[in-house]
Amino acid sequence: MQAGATLPETRETLEANKVRLWLAQADLASAATWGLDRQRPGTAGTSFEREPGDIALARVLVAQGAHRDAHVLLDALEGSAAAGGRRGRLLEILLLHARVWQLEGRHDEAGNVIDRSLQIGETSGWIRTYVDEGAWLAELFSQERNSGRAVPPASAAYVVQLREAILHDGNMAPTRMQR
């Protein structure tokens, strides 16, 4: 490999992190401009190398309120990640899909996707991926618990652990969130 050359996946991961930063800073204009460039003709299609950037594009679509487009992209990404056995990416995709369902007020669908994510996350011990999603996910966990939705007993402790990690990471006062 030449000095200074980067692997496509590395480039994609850097781009995805840049988009996450823009979205965290509420710089939707930069993220949207990046998204338009990403959607140029000839750049479509999901592949292993493009997944990080495509997940970032889904985040931009969600931030823009383009939920239908986000669902289509996330469905394609989910199939690709599942077929390739990329559980970490699949987990991130499922969480983002749950976010779209939540924003649409379709809490049953969001809960079903969260349940699927917990099956992956708990067996592999993932926490950071959940924490990176932030407060919306802690709120969804609380809504799920308060709605009486049955969480498998083994997952209940994991959900509590995830909520606490999210709250701690975001330095959120527990009074802002129902405990």
Digits of tens for pLDDT over the chain (179 positions)? 455 556 777 889 999 999 999 999 999 999 999 999 888 655 555 677 889 999 999 999 999 999 999 999 999 999 999 999 999 999 999 999 999 999 999 988 998 999 999 999 999 899 999 999 999 999 888 877 666 666 665 588 899 899 999 988 865 443 333 32
Assess contact for 137 and 104: CB atoms under 8 A: no
Give me the residue spans of the domains in the chain: 1-85, 108-179
Residues 6+ apart with CB under 8 A from 49: 7, 8, 9, 12
Residue 134: helix, strand or coil by DSSP? Answer: coil
Which alpha helices (H) appear in 84-152, and where do they start and end? 87-103, 107-124, 128-133, 135-146
The whole-number pLDDT of residue 148 equals: 66
The whole-number pLDDT of residue 6 equals: 66
